Structure 1
Amino acid sequence: MKLIILACLACVSLAAPQFPNPIAITRDDRIDNGDGSFSYAFEAENGIAAQATGVRGFQGQSNIEGSYRFPLNDGSGFVEVRYVADENGFRAESPFLPTPHPTPAHVIELLRIAEEQRAAGITFE
């Protein structure tokens, strides 16, 4: 019986959450003007950072412009993303964001042929 209790205590102690060293926040600035306009800046000691400013838009939304960054897993540098969110949607810019593959030449040719057929009144059912 003592062995079972000892085994249970060992399991409970091993299952306890293991927290790594906490990362200190080196900057945390926030301003909310209450009218849809705001700004914030956040930075941690490991290089993670985010900042944004927002102004009231014409349709009642907040138009936001900002950026965020975080370190690469291999420690070789940082990923930085700049963005705008407004009436025209969310647009992000970064060399690290994936881009669509270029359209193959044969697809461009097929699209050109289809456009010519539409212009000539050819339809398919």
Structure 2
Amino acid sequence: MKLVVLACLAAVAIAAPQSQDVIPVVQVLRDDRQDDGNGIFNYAFETENGIAMEASGTPGSQGQSNMQGSFRFVFPEGNAADVRYIADENGFQPQSDLLPTDHPLPAHVIDLIRMTEELRAAGATWDEQGRRLTR
């Protein structure tokens, strides 16, 4: 009998709701919106935890919305991430110190490219394996 009562208590303890992670409530400090209904719009918002976003848009030449704006958030370590962008006929073009950049080409590669351009200008051609066909 004691074993049955103990098993029932264990089952109730296991079935009890576990504590859920509490989602913090963040206050909105600013929320501005304007939409003219013709494809022209602006919006901006900012929250107390450092998240901010703003954008403005106009109709594009190919039926898309051309937009430009920025967004900002704070990493858990405390430093801020700032991104500015343009989105138009040429696609999404972000700008930020956080984005990776191309490494500069080594000097020998620049020399090889220059030599190849000089050979092409002189009429040289190459096959699919990269072997030069003409001099």
TM range (shorter): 0.7 to 0.9
Matches within 5 A, 1:42-81: 42-75=45-78, 77-81=79-83
> 1:32: Cα distance to partner?
2.0
**Unaligned runs of at least 5 residues, structure 2:** 1-6, 128-135
> 1:115: Cα distance to partner?
1.2
In structure 1, how many angstroms separate the alpha carbons of the residues matched to 2:96 and 2:108?
Answer: 30
Q: Does 2:27 correspond to 1:21?
A: no
Q: TM-score, normalised by structure 1?
A: 0.82
Q: TM-score, normalised by structure 2?
A: 0.77
Verify the 8 A CA contact 1:81 1:92 in the aligned structure 2: yes
State the number of aligned residues.
121
Match of 2:109 in 1: 107
In structure 2, how many angstroms separate the alpha carbons of the residues matched to 1:119 and 1:7?
Answer: 82
Greater shift in the superposed pair: 46-55 or 18-27: 18-27
**Unaligned runs of at least 5 residues, structure 1:** none
Structure 2 SS opposite 1:81: strand
Percent of aligned pairs sharing the same letter: 51
Two-structure CA RMSD over aligned residues (Å): 1.9
Which structure has the larger Rg?
Answer: 2
In structure 1, how many angstroms separate the alpha carbons of the residues matched to 2:125 and 2:104?
Answer: 28
In structure 2, how many angstroms separate the alpha carbons of the residues matched to 1:73 and 1:8?
Answer: 34
Verify the 8 A CA contact 1:38 1:54 in the aligned structure 2: yes
Structure 2 SS opposite 1:111: helix
Match of 1:96 in 2: 98
1:8 to 6, 11, 14: 14
